[in-house]
Amino acid sequence: MKSYQKLLLANKSWAAEQAEEDPTFFTKMAEGQSPEFLWIGCADSRAPADKITGTDPGQIFVHRNVANLVINTDLNMLSVLQYAVEVLKVKHVMVVGHYGCGGVKASLTNSNLGLINKWIRNIKDVYVKYQDELDSIDDMAEKTDRLCELNVVEQVKNLIKTSIIQKAWKSENSPYVHGLILDLKSGHINQIMEVEPGDYSVINPIFKFDL
Ligand code: CO
């Protein structure tokens, strides 16, 4: 049997199991979603949002890309963010990085990787911002992991720089913004940053809009 056929087979037994456990599971699922969380994570196959948080379908709205970046011209991410915040009214927006991230690793080299150079460029900018601290770390794995953390911090700031979050902070639905990091060696997720609704102290005032 081909490996992708195994996926479809596994799906059938999962669906049967769910229906047996809770006969209303799929009826409820088909009715709609009201997740409390937006997860902006890395596309890495080892960082699946629901599996590692023990959550069920319907609980987390997910956007994933290489190295969990929040780029202010990325229509895909911004559309997900706007929908999550304005329509689904999520209470928590989370940037979830992970140690040993391939995208972050690549950003610390001079390799020419083609199209993805343009994406990785954004992480190089984070490196330059914290170059003094990062260059003081000799061990390459340690340096990469520190950049993984700093990258999360900068992406959280990028979220707060969006008019989407700033507008949401003016509304009744005022989401928290979190920076988290997954340790693949232990499976644990640790919080490295939490921004309360309406707290602009982590960004330069020039990024705050008159709303
Ligand atoms: Co990654």
Q: What CATH number does residue 177 fall under?
A: 3.40.1050.10
44 in catalytic set: yes
pLDDT band at 32 (very low <50, low <70, confident <90, very high): very high
148 in catalytic set: no
Task: Determine, yes or no, domain membership for 126.
Answer: yes
DSSP assignments along 90-149, one per residue: -SEEEEEEETT-HHHHHHTS----TTHHHHHHHHHHHHHHTHHHHHT---HHHHHHHHHH
At 68 the pLDDT is: 98
Q: How close is the Cα of 181 to the center of ligand 1, in Å?
A: 11
11 bridge partner residues: none
At 197 the pLDDT is: 97
Task: Determine, yes or no, domain membership for 11.
Answer: no
Catalytic residue among 22, 74, 92, 101: 101
Number of CB atoms found within 10 A of residue 86's CB: 14
Task: Determine, yes or no, domain membership for 51.
Answer: no
Task: Determine, yes or no, domain membership for 63.
Answer: no
Task: Determine, yes or no, domain membership for 37.
Answer: no
Given a cut of 90, is residue 205 above it in pLDDT?
A: yes
Whole-model pTM: value is 0.96
Task: Determine, yes or no, domain membership for 179.
Answer: yes
List CB contacts of 156: < 8 A, sequence separation 6 or more.
Answer: 70, 95, 177, 178, 179, 193, 195, 202
Burial class of residue 139, CB neighbours in 10 A (0-12, 13-18, 19+):
exposed
Give pLDDT tens digits for 86-140. Answer: 999 999 999 999 999 999 999 999 999 999 999 999 999 999 999 999 999 999 9
Given a cut of 90, is residue 1 above it in pLDDT?
A: no
Q: How close is the Cα of 69 to the center of ligand 1, in Å?
A: 10
Q: How close is the Cα of 55 to the center of ligand 1, in Å?
A: 21
Catalytic residue among 98, 145, 148, 178: 98
Give pLDDT tens digits for 60-93. Answer: 999 999 999 999 999 999 999 999 999 999 999 9
- Domain count along the chain: 1
Catalytic residue among 22, 46, 135, 183: 46
101 in catalytic set: yes
**Contact between 100 and 127 (Cβ < 8 Å):** no
64 in catalytic set: no
Q: Which range marks the domain in which residue 195 is found?
A: 72-211
Question: What distance in Å separates the CA atoms of residue 174 and residue 197, rounded to the nearest whole number?
Answer: 6
Give pLDDT tens digits for 145-180. Answer: 999 999 999 999 999 999 999 999 999 889 999 999
Task: Determine, yes or no, domain membership for 60.
Answer: no
Question: What distance in Å separates the CA atoms of residue 62 and residue 94, rounded to the nearest whole number?
Answer: 10
